[in-house]
A and B are shown apart, each in its own frame.
Chain A
Amino acid sequence: MSLFKYISPKTKDEVLEILQKEKSNACIVAGCSNVLPNIRDKEIKAKVLIDITNIEQLKGIYQKEDKIFLGPLTTINELIYSDITSKEYKVLTQAAQEFADPLVRNTATIGGNLVTASPAADIAIPLLTLDALIKIESTRDKREVKLKDFFVGPGETILQDDEMIVGIEFEQSDVNKNGYFIKIGQRKAMAISIATVAVNLEVRQNKINQIRIAAGSVAPTPVRLTGAESFLKNKEINDKLVEEAIDRVREEVKPISDIRASEEYRRYISGLLFKRAFKKLADSSIHQFTN
């Protein structure tokens, strides 16, 4: 006897129909790396499992005009092996390489990572600094939201019961091509992040033209650090500025203490990770920047 009903639709529209009918009684299954442990821990209330892994429409990484499109079923390893992401959007591949381990990366998807909405969702961090757009559909509606507006709280997103993610998009802009991601975990693989930071930066004449900073495991959801961003914008890069920005980052994050690290360490380390990521990018943008 199965405890759940299982459906494996072939098209996105079928999924939307089922969602429309079942609402919160349905649970989408992608890579299953969160869903199965949750079933085991009896944390899933839904009764219908919609396995979307056979839907070709939801897979793949493409260039679309001036945008990059990622299907929600893109696996973490595909981010590493795709020419499109690995050549130009290193911030994504860096995060992917630090994600879980090579086996989990074969099945875990970026859609699943975003919807899980864990504060430690590693792929959300670079997607935040890429200013990604989440494409959401239901039978009622199609909408697009900025990823920074997607998360509501730990495990909570703006997705309605009848909605699903059908794509993720970001621009092929200069700032998006100049990103850096760093993760600190308890060990070098299979580690849930203690803290992560991603930075995307565009410098013009030694001045910060555009900057996006995001951080993981230091707030109830993955977050953009917009305060630090606006502090830095249009400023000339020098050591003092960086030091001040580190303080801003540390002020802006809202970490908690848990078994992996204390609030204070997370605050400290997010500033440090910001510094390291920023310097890497700034160093390669402007050669005169010292230390």
Chain B
Amino acid sequence: MSEFKIVGKPIPRDDAWAKVTGELKYADDFSLPGMLYAKVLRSKYPAAKIISINTAKAEKLNGVRAVLTAKDVPHNETVTRFGQSSEVGKGFEGLYRVLADKKVRFMGEAVALVAADTEEIAEKALDLIEVNYETLPGVFDPVEAMKPGAYLVGENNSNIIGQFGCSQGDIIKGFAEADIIIEDTYKVPFVDHAYLETEGGIAWIDDYGVINIRVGSQVIEHFRDVADVLGLSHNKVRYIGTMMGGGFGGKEDITVEAYLALLTWKTKKPVRLFYTREESILCHSKRHPFVMKYKVGAKKDGKLVALNAELISDAGAYPYLSPWVNLYATVNAAGPYCIPNVKVRTYCVLTNNTFTSANRGFGAPQPNVVYESLMDELAHKLNISPLEIRRRNCLTTGKSLSTTGQVFKTYVALPEVAEKAWEALGELAKCEDKNRKVGRGLAIGLMSYGRMTFLHDSSRCYVRLESDGSVLIRSGIPDLGGGQVSLLCQIVAEELGIPMSKIKIYYSDTALTPLAGTTTATRQTYMSGNATLKAARKIRKRIISKAAELLNVNPDKLDIIEEKVIVKYNQSQYLPLVEVIKACNTAGIELFCEVQFNAPFTIVPDLSNIRGMTFPDFTFGAQAVEVAVDTETGQVEILKLITCYDVGKAINPLSVEGQMEGGSIYGMGYALMEEVIIEKGITMTPSFSEYIIPTAADVPDVKAILVESGGGLGPYGAKGIGEPACSIIAPAILNAIYDAIGVRIKNLPATPEKIIRALKKEYFEK
């Protein structure tokens, strides 16, 4: 199709009006008669033995309907999955424990559940549960936890739960050829998703004995995991996913669902459970902290010859998605560069900290900080411009990823995006104040979209054209706020030539909508977009062929525009769409279908040396920033922030820009202010006055530049953008700080204090 009607237009999203008017019902905006209120008793200690739990007093409290501990959970220990249906083997699926049993592994771990008539009673009941702990030493640093003889967090004889590697060439030879070698260690902290809607939902048992869970979740396929916990058949648990108030990977693991299911199962009543903000920060997943030891070697002309990286990540107390995240960090560790000799080793280690799992970027933002800082350092040392050094080394079409050797068959928008971003900075800001120094930084990167190919990913969609020309879509797609649902409507509107207003979509329901897979891994535009396109095109074809018959023209001469099947180049010759639908219905032609779209499938790689295709495709981007640093206070102000990505095709430019702008600020928080401080297992920042994210007053007007190569695997050549958008801004900012004041921050976040300590060494050392 050459000319688009609605694809590529900045149209309002399908869900926009319901959101501005306050009509939309999020997970917590719904209640049922007789609903009980649940609360979770959480461990007071990061590491302790549970000697005994006495729930008798709590049970006796008036209004308490259930008190559950590990012994009440039919299958308290299962494995962590995130919706995959293929077998991936032991390396990935770790222990998922519903309630702490015998031992607690992190502060905030769920120990007992209460359901009561009111929230106040439930809270009181928590106070009445007596848990006898015997504290244990615990281990809080992944590097310590790796050492032989370290305190063991779990039941296995090592805290290391995953090891991954990639290599190509020969690094010894590579470094020997290098004219310059840089070695350094970088650290990044725990980060919270900080979506404004905390985790929560409501569950009830319907007339047929099915447990219904209405919840904000990125992975409704967890209905299977919840059924396994209860020992029920999978079709006895139903997820009804709501529009989420943000997800960013934090609603990718099971949050409240197993608790809700257990409580509603025991009490036979509807149950509501919502986390407070403190609870959310304390005990839902975090982004992995990493300690990253890098060594890179280059020739005098800046050409990279070798890279050696050792990454150690803190998985926290349970595995969740740590192995996957670490696999991705490994694949991403050499960035978008051609390096002949590469070796990467990644270790994923349990500690008694809050567990870590998916967080927007899924293991990419962490190594990106290092390799992009090192590229900048090389540029400075070799006196090459930041843009030029990237030009000389970046991947281009037909080249392969330096870690796994995966070949890029479609257009690689490097160095194009870097050039555009750098140029867009324009003139350097003038600065009168002698205590304010201005500087610029650049970073480039790549990030996959779509799940790992050995997960054998698929998405399904159902589309039905009604007799009045309206359309009904059913897709299991969860929407975390990115406009995933609206996108499907737009595709159908395009293909069937109808306005968005004539489309009704039902989404995110495991009983009634075909499963579309998870809203994770920046996969929905690609996966569900393609499934929807496939379904819409099937119906389109049937309409067109019927119309061709009626109009007596060749089908390729026809298009559907504004609810008319028209003869192209002779728009006066047409049939109203409803007429054609009528004719199809009379002839018994099916104007509905359910289809499945499959991603490319590969086998599980050798994890010690990952080679070949592991992801369907990648998105390439660059970010450029200009900062002003106050050399007396250490405060950093971002003056300009440019984000430039090859998005393939911007199906809805407003949504794509939204991801790029929002992603930039998400990453700016990572660079400058965000950190969940966990000291000896104790979270020190359990509120929004302690866990600081940027406010409107802190941000620049992000400028998004869209490159549309059409080279993506998604519908109309689209690529994914959600996660890539946030994954390289942090190093761009660090590089700009260096440019401004000559200080390189190697330990995020780059707070004013860290900057001043580096700038005023003489003052602080005295």
Contact = CB atoms under 8 A, between A and B. Distances in A.
Q: Within 8 Å by CB, do A and B touch in the complex?
A: yes
Given A259-B677, A259-B690, A268-B763, A184 B753 contact: no
B129 interface: no
Interface residues of B, number: 24
Nearest to A276: B632
Interface string A175-208: 0000000001011111110000000000000000
A18 interface: no
A189 B694 CA distance: 9
B695 A187 contact: yes
A101 B263 CA distance: 40
Nearest to B688: A190
Contact of B752 (A101, A184, A188, A190): A184
Interface in B554-577: none
B695 A192 contact: no
A32 interface: no
B632 A272 contact: yes
A264 B752 CA distance: 13
B633 A269 contact: yes
B84 interface: no
A276 B433 CA distance: 13
B689 A192 contact: yes
A268 B697 contact: no
A268 B760 contact: yes
B764 interface: yes
B87 interface: no
Contacts of A259: 677, 684-685, 690
B698 interface: yes
A187 B692 contact: yes
Given A184-B633, A184-B752, A189 B684 contact: no
Contacts of A276: 632
A265 interface: yes
A187 B753 contact: no
Interface in B712-766: 751-753, 756-757, 760, 763-764
Contact of B697 (A184, A188, A262, A264): A188
A193 to B, nearest CB: 11
A184 B635 contact: yes
A184 B692 CA distance: 14
The majority secondary structure among interface residues of chain A is loop
Interface in B667-704: 673, 677, 684-685, 688-690, 692, 694-698
A261 interface: yes
Contact of A186 (B632, B673, B756, B760): B673
A265 B756 contact: yes
The majority secondary structure among interface residues of chain B is loop
B753 A262 contact: yes
Interface in B412-435: none
B692 A268 contact: no
A286 B756 CA distance: 31
Contacts of A184: 633, 635, 752
Nearest to A100: B689
Contacts of B632: 272, 276
Contacts of B752: 184, 265
A188 B695 contact: yes
Nearest to B435: A276
A187 B694 contact: yes
Q: Which of B690, B698, B753, B760 has the most CB of A within 10 A?
A: B753
Given A259-B677, A272-B633, A188 B763 contact: no
Given A262-B753, A268-B756, A269-B633, A186 B692 contact: yes
A187 B677 contact: no
A243 to B, nearest CB: 13
B279 to A, nearest CB: 13
B673 A187 contact: yes
Contacts of A101: 695
Nearest to A190: B695
A190 B764 contact: no
B698 to A, nearest CB: 5
Interface string A241-271: 0000000000000000001011011001100
Contacts of B694: 187
22 contacts: A101-B695, A184-B633, A186-B673, A186-B692, A186-B751, A187-B694, A187-B697, A187-B698, A188-B698, A189-B696, A189-B698, A190-B689, A190-B695, A191-B692, A259-B677, A261-B753, A264-B764, A265-B752, A265-B753, A268-B764, A269-B633, A272-B632
Interface of A: 101, 184, 186-192, 259, 261-262, 264-265, 268-269, 272, 276
In order of increasing CB-CB distance, the 4 nearest A-B pairs are A188-B697, A189-B697, A265-B753, A189-B695
Given A192-B689, A259-B677, 6 more contacts: A184-B635, A186-B692, A189-B695, A189-B697, A259-B684, A265-B753
Interface of B: 632-633, 635, 673, 677, 684-685, 688-690, 692, 694-698, 751-753, 756-757, 760, 763-764
